Structure 1
């Protein structure tokens, strides 16, 4: 079967990341971490609204009451799309100015999960946090080097999580009601020579889709046995994340990065930092929103 990966938006982002699909408004949210920008893309109009920030933006998720919740260099913020105002929520690592938040996602209960990493990306100085609906924060995993992709299986009994430097996707038993994780184990190991696992999403069949930083691909795996099912080749080396969107949640939106590319490199990868789309044969899991408890 012929693969068809379409360039959706030639954004030229430094590190496009954290694609999130707002099914209600049919919008794709994404961030440029190094560019310190939030993007709101409307596929029906091919329009991309940009909101500038004064700090790194690690990830974005819809906020049920409107706008979005963000994990940034210096903590968790709400963003009002109309006023473009950032409102500080909390910073569990205010004592670690050399750490920043990276990837994150909301669970089906409306909690926000987001992890940190040191700016040097060398030592396990980061952590994964759960931000509850009342804004309280709990550290869930520590000694993380580059906190990255998060996904859940269809019945929310398993949470998957990536610490990029381990080249592994970990699985945890998940209690949705309590928001607790247990029984950590390796679900998928990325073979040498295929880059490192970055962002991730899951589909309605319980499979996971992993972006490969330095691997020119998205890969689909069965996390129950660690077997590779499918490889989607992307014309960019640094593939950062993916999310299901569209009316039927069967369009995979893919983010990429241009970080580190010189003029020569950009000639070979002219669309690095762009957003791509791949029509899948399976329905994906939805993007959940933060459900603030007021």
Structure 2
């Protein structure tokens, strides 16, 4: 088993949503409960944090500058320099029992993000897609905790996690239209400790899945569900991961702070492990 190294001991309440900025060579990540968007510079070890006033589940770069955010009540355009927030969509108006969670862009520059149920009846959340023209589309319903998603462009597939199902779902994915169909269970992770959370994919088409309350990231072969590699993290609540670095051989891992009474001095930190395999880049929103 590989061991991830601590690169930022920031003690985030709920670190999430890492994506790599190829231009600046910095990692963008969020602290959901801390309501912050962060830029971490591995070359200096410095982290710049901006409070956005609401819980933030995901942040992605935008072609025309700035970021697209998934906040409590929907999608926003955000200018980190001025702090300006522009509300673009509220996909679930009037729903107080959900908040938005994980999200990322597909290879064609569409922004995908899902909601999660905070209280009340399960399966009332959903997965949404915002296209570069600003149009909004409901892509999946009956969700409880929308989490990791990833695209295998070469094979025309999308993978998706609703954490409570403890399985990785697979769809046929049309990169030209953004449509998904033929949902099936790619494989189950019920035998793993914790629940599946964020996810990324490497250049060999293998999936790297973070396990919340599992203390690790696991590399799976998606066709069989076979475990190929494990990365131990010095924090039980591992939330997500993404590839970065100049050669995309570095896997950055976000975590959440430990519960009171748990002895995890580095929980909520940002971790990294260098791998022999490279991974896909973080895509930008094309709108």
Shorter-chain TM band:
over 0.9
Does residue 249 in structure 1 map to residue 248 in structure 2? yes
- Number of matched residues? 287
Specify which of 263, 271, 290 is matched with residue 266 of structure 2.
271
- The answer for the alignment partner of 1:69 in structure 2 is 68
State whether residues 129 and 139 of structure 1, in contact with CA within 8 Å, keep that contact through their aligned partners in structure 2.
yes
Q: Which moved more, 1:45-54 or 1:199-208?
A: 45-54
2:85 corresponds to which residue? 86
Instruction: Write out the 4+ residue segments of structure 1 that deviate beyond 4 Å after TM superposition.
Output: none
Secondary structure of the structure 1 residue equivalent to 2:63: coil
Out of 274, 278, 281, the position equivalent to 1:283 is 278
Structure 2 distance, partners of 1:193, 1:99, is 27
Q: Is the 8 A contact 1:121 1:146 kept in 2?
A: no
TM-score by length of structure 1 reads 0.95
Name which of structure 1's ranges 57-66 and 147-156 shifts more when overlaid on structure 2. 147-156
Structure 2 residue 143 is matched with structure 1 residue 148: no
When residues 74 and 12 of structure 1 are mapped into structure 2, their CA distance, relative to the original with a 3 A threshold, is same
SS of equivalent to 2:197? strand
User: Greater shift after overlay, 161-170 or 117-126?
Assistant: 117-126
Say which is worse superposed, 245-254 or 92-101, in terms of deviation. Answer: 92-101
Is contact 1:154-1:204 (8 Å) kept?
no
In structure 1, what is the equivalent of residue 183 of structure 2? 184
* CA distance in 2: counterparts of 1:122 and 1:151, whole angstroms: 27
Residue 159 of structure 1 and its aligned partner are, at CA, apart by: 0.4
Q: Which residue of 1 aligns with 2:128?
A: 129
The CA RMSD measured in Å over matched residues stands at 1.3
1:167 paired to 2:166: yes
1:56 Cα shift?
Answer: 0.8
- TM-score normalised to the size of structure 2? 0.97
Aligned partners of 1:154 and 1:206 also within 8 Å? no
CA distance in 1, matches of 2:154, 2:211: 26
